[in-house]
Structure 1
Amino acid sequence: MSRRHLIPLIAGVVAAVALIGGAIATVNMGSDDAKPTAASDTIDGSRSPGDRADRGERPSPATSASASPSATASASPQVSKAPEATKSPTKKPSASSTPKSTGGTVTSTGTCKASYYATGSRTANGESFNPDGLTAAHKELPFNTRVRVTNLANGKSVVVRINDRGPFVSGRCLDLARGAFVTIASVSAGVINARYEVLK
């Protein structure tokens, strides 16, 4: 075979090897997708008494305090959260993963310190207390008032329903059920600076 015919043949073999190598590299890169990592949202209930409201001082309801704390909560308000930069396709859904409409006319607003609580069996309005619910305690707002609470440190917000009285610690105006608090802050924070908006 002459040199003139040999050069195109070598060039064709080199091109084929390059294409096969590129295909193998593409397959290898596609198999290294990010694996989901387990969330470490373990709730630590060992906060000092100074970091949570004193539930022993809140007014006791007329009904007995014998109901289980795991009883189902009534109508849950909606939760909204600032969109995340990246989302894992296998991430388990939660109330705060997908922003929902939290419409309503704002009738008043302000800033204050907000804490959380996770103990008790009955709320001041007589409901069974659900520590994982989207509810909160306030000293004066009428029961069933919806309030949007925004963590000023990260912009995350949650809409809660007032069904309890408190907090009974100076400088705080809201005491969120733990389930509402963890949607906007880590439980280790204990107390946050928050903006509240009372919704009509």
Structure 2
Amino acid sequence: MKKAITIFLSIAIIGLVSSQIVTKEKAKTVVQKDSIKKDKATLQPEIVFNDSMIVVKGVFKPFKNNVVASYYADKFNGRRTASGKKFDNTKYTAAHRKLPFGTKLKITNEANGKSIIVEVTDRGPFSRGREIDLTKKAFMEIASNKSSGAFKVKIEMVN
């Protein structure tokens, strides 16, 4: 019975991680050999479960540094995004003008070093000088000043 419960919880946690991944430590690179091509190494992200946090070890490709991030207003809750999904301000998603839908991004607050992983599901922001819009939950997770509306971030693509 205990083994069945453990397996069930493992499956539930993996499903939860695929939709919301929060990193609380710096990512580490993991190299695994490709089974087809013996001479080249491929880089694969790895998810590690510790007692109270989820750590993503993997490869993060730098995209942009020192850009401004803001967050969605609550009035957009329940509306359809450009990708066709319903917008929910309590999820870990983002809007970017050009990146493909489904792209996973690691957003790091440059002021305090906190980071979070989000998925691109919408287009925007359309305000001049802003690079990415985060959901309110994702924004508040990494914000050092909860009353600010925008701050500088580093964007990395998760491979």
Question: Which residue in the other structure is 2:123 paired with?
Answer: 165
Question: Which residue in the other structure is 1:76 paired with?
Answer: 19
Runs ≥4 residues deviating over 6 A: none
Question: Which residue in the other structure is 1:116 paired with?
Answer: 71
1:99 deviates by: 3.6
Question: Which residue in the other structure is 1:135 paired with?
Answer: 93
- Aligned-partner SS, 1:154: coil
Matched to 1:197, the amino acid is: E
Question: Which residue in the other structure is 1:43 paired with?
Answer: none
Contiguous gaps of at least 5 residues in structure 1:
1-74, 83-97
Question: Which residue in the other structure is 1:146 paired with?
Answer: 104
Per the normalisation by structure 2, the TM-score is: 0.65
Instruction: Write out aligned runs for 1:180-199 (5 A).
Output: 180-185=138-143, 186-199=145-158
- Aligned-partner SS, 1:167: coil
Contiguous gaps of at least 5 residues in structure 2:
1-17, 26-51
- Select between 165-174 and 116-125 the one with higher mean Cα deviation: 116-125
Q: How many aligned residue pairs are there?
A: 113
The structure with more radius of gyration: 1
Distance 1:161 1:125 in 2: 11
Question: Which residue in the other structure is 2:30 paired with?
Answer: none
- Aligned-partner SS, 1:183: helix
1:165 deviates by: 0.6
Structure 2 CA distance for partners of 1:126 and 1:192, relative to 1, 3 Å: same
Structure 2 CA distance for partners of 1:125 and 1:80, relative to 1, 3 Å: same
Answer 1 or 2: which has greater strand percent: 2
Match of 1:102 among 31, 35, 56: 56
Distance 1:171 1:180 in 2: 20
Distance 1:162 1:103 in 2: 20
Matched to 2:93, the amino acid is: T
Contact 1:134 1:180 in 2 (8 A): yes
Cα RMSD for the two superposed structures? 2.0
Matched to 1:134, the amino acid is: Y
Distance 2:94 2:126 in 1: 13
Distance 1:142 1:173 in 2: 14
Distance 1:187 1:124 in 2: 28
Contact 1:77 1:146 in 2 (8 A): no
Contact 1:119 1:131 in 2 (8 A): no
